[in-house]
């Protein structure tokens, strides 16, 4: 009897200790990510390690510009009473859905007529959409190019039709109109720096082996990938890049590609997903092979949409570094820039570079990001 009680007590204590230990370990992982978090770019400790990484291959310029006043909601706007056309790459994407929502809020607040045009991620649709926008004859256009090169004649056509145009997100290959864009190299570079800091602190005894869930046909995405690698290898030059697989930027294809990546390189312990869908596909792949744990390694991505925030705040998730690609910031900057363009205060040389703010993996950090960028 006494022996049974003692055994039960010992078992209970062991379970309690394991639970507490697991909780402590989980808390440590989140705390480690928070304590190693920084908004600063890291510089390479061994320049040879990053020498072969291409710079900004998408040809974007003017990264040094800061958004400054463009990210302030004005008391009054030149858009009031005007008819405005705003295009999105695809309303099926949460980022552009959020952009459309922010613009609708702005239209209500500043009292202007808004028509949203959906490019459906399709070059032919965007081409036809430009004609529709010209027919609509708005006072101003906030245009989301699908492709840097193809957008140049599209913007020129709208300008030739006498429309006031600004572009946002993907930057046209030529300076044809005022534009809002982000630094697709340095934003993910900060993610790389933060993930390397976390990895060093969490797994001091391990050598990092990197896999990328990529979308190689998009230059903007290549900047993201190269920026991440530059940041990570700056602090951990001994890291080995095992392979980049094509996840297509969507969750189902990314899941299959990440599964193959994990099969091909079981030693991979760092993965960068080029967007949130790619990372969520990777999360599912890790779960399928029983590797989903903060003890497996480290995962990072960029975008900062709501589903990935759930992973960032999850103590057992390996996702421990994320930079936001803010729909509110893009909306407000494009809104202000379009007003300035209508008032003749901006021309084709005007550019606004909004940030890729790294999101601190704490409850407050995640909540404040979502509250501003993805309000419910």
Among 214, 223, 303, 329, binds another protein (CB under 8 A): 214
Nearer to another protein, 97 or 200 (CB): 97
Among 92, 132, 363, 368, binds another protein (CB under 8 A): 92
CA distance 73 to 229: 35
Q: From residue 222, give the alpha-carbon distance in Å to each of 3, 15, 259, 275, 315.
A: 65, 47, 21, 11, 30
Asked if residue 93 binds another protein (CB under 8 A), the reply is: yes
H helical segments located in the chain? 2-35, 47-50, 94-110, 123-136, 148-160, 186-202, 219-235, 251-264, 276-288, 306-312, 327-342, 363-373
**CA dihedral sign of residues 247, 250, 253, 255:** positive
Asked if residue 371 binds another protein (CB under 8 A), the reply is: no
Nearer to another protein, 44 or 216 (CB): 216
Asked if residue 250 binds another protein (CB under 8 A), the reply is: yes
Among 36, 222, 305, 317, binds another protein (CB under 8 A): 305
Instruction: Let me know: does 214 contact 250? Beta carbons within 8 Å.
Output: no
Question: Considering the complex, what minimum distance in angstroms separates the CB of residue 309 from another protein?
Answer: 9
Task: Find where tokens 């040094």 sit.
Answer: 64
**Residue count at the site for another protein (CB under 8 A)?**
38
Among 28, 31, 44, 97, binds another protein (CB under 8 A): 97
Binding mask 107-126 for another protein (x = CB under 8 A): --------------------
Q: From residue 23, give the alpha-carbon distance in Å to each of 27, 272, 315.
A: 6, 26, 9
Q: Give the Cα-Cα-Cα angle 219, 221, 223 (nearest 5 degrees).
A: 75
Asked if residue 98 binds another protein (CB under 8 A), the reply is: yes
Reference 229, options 239, 219, 216; nearest CA is 239
Asked if residue 259 binds another protein (CB under 8 A), the reply is: yes
Nearer to another protein, 24 or 123 (CB): 123
Question: Considering the complex, what minimum distance in angstroms separates the CB of residue 263 from another protein?
Answer: 5
Question: Considering the complex, what minimum distance in angstroms separates the CB of residue 34 from another protein?
Answer: 22
Nearer to another protein, 62 or 307 (CB): 307
CA 223 from chain center: how many Å?
A: 12
Asked if residue 91 binds another protein (CB under 8 A), the reply is: yes
Question: Considering the complex, what minimum distance in angstroms separates the CB of residue 292 from another protein?
Answer: 10
Instruction: Let me know: does 358 contact 194? Beta carbons within 8 Å.
Output: yes
Question: Considering the complex, what minimum distance in angstroms separates the CB of residue 79 from another protein?
Answer: 25
Asked if residue 314 binds another protein (CB under 8 A), the reply is: no
Instruction: Let me know: does 235 contact 49? Beta carbons within 8 Å.
Output: no
Nearer to another protein, 198 or 228 (CB): 228
CA distance 222 to 78: 37
Among 94, 237, 313, 315, binds another protein (CB under 8 A): 94
Asked if residue 252 binds another protein (CB under 8 A), the reply is: yes
Binding mask 216-235 for another protein (x = CB under 8 A): xx------------------
Q: Phi then psi for 276, rounded to 5 degrees?
A: -70, -35
CA distance 43 to 50: 10
CA distance 364 to 103: 26
Stretch that binds another protein, among 12-20, 137-145, 256-264, 317-325 (CB under 8 A): 256-264
Nearer to another protein, 85 or 286 (CB): 286
Q: Give the Cα-Cα-Cα angle 168, 169, 172 (nearest 5 degrees).
A: 75
Considering only residues 260 to 299 of the shown chain, the ones binding another protein according to CB under 8 A are 260-261, 263-264, 266, 277, 280-281, 283-284, 287-289
Q: Give the interface with another protein as residue ranges (CB under 8 A).
A: 91-94, 97-98, 214, 216-217, 243-246, 250-252, 255-257, 259-261, 263-264, 266, 277, 280-281, 283-284, 287-289, 305-307, 310, 374
């Amino acid at each position: 009897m006494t022996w049974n009680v003692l055994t039960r007590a010992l078992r209970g204590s062991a379970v309690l200790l394991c639970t507490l230990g697991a909780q402590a370990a989980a808390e440590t992982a989140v705390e480690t990510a928070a304590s190693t978090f920084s908004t600063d770019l890291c510089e390479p400790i061994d320049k040879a390690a990053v020498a072969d990484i291409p710079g900004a291959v998408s040809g974007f310029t003017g990264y040094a510009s800061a958004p400054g006043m463009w990210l302030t909601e004005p008391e009054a706007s030149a858009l009031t009473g005007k008819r405005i056309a705003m295009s999105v790459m695809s309303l099926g994407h949460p980022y552009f859905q959020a952009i459309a929502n922010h613009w609708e809020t702005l239209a209500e607040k500043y009292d202007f007529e808004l028509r949203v045009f959906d490019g459906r991620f399709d070059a032919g649709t965007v081409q036809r959409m430009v004609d529709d926008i010209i027919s609509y004859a708005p006072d101003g256009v906030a245009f989301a190019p699908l492709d840097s090169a193809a957008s140049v004649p599209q913007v020129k056509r709208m300008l030739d039709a006498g429309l006031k145009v600004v572009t946002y997100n993907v930057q046209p290959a030529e300076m044809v109109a005022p534009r809002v864009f982000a630094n697709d190299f340095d934003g993910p570079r900060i993610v790389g720096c933060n993930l390397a800091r976390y990895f060093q602190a969490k797994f001091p005894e391990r050598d990092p082996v990197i896999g990328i869930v990529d979308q190689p046909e998009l230059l903007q995405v290549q900047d993201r990938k190269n920026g991440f690698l530059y940041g990570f290898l700056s602090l951990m030059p001994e890291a080995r890049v095992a392979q980049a697989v094509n996840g297509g930027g969507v969750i189902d294809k990314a899941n299959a590609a990440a599964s193959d990546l994990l099969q091909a390189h079981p030693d991979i312990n760092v993965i960068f997903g080029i967007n949130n869908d790619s990372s969520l596909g990777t999360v599912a792949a890790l779960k399928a092979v029983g590797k989903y744990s903060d003890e497996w390694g480290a995962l990072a991505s960029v975008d900062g949409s709501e589903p990935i925030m759930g992973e960032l705040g999850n103590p057992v998730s390996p996702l421990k570094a994320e930079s936001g690609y803010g729909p509110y910031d893009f909306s407000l900057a494009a809104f202000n820039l379009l007003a300035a363009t209508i008032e003749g205060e901006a021309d084709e040389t005007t550019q606004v570079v909004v940030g890729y703010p790294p999101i601190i993996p704490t409850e407050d950090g995640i909540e404040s990001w979502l509250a501003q960028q993805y309000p419910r």
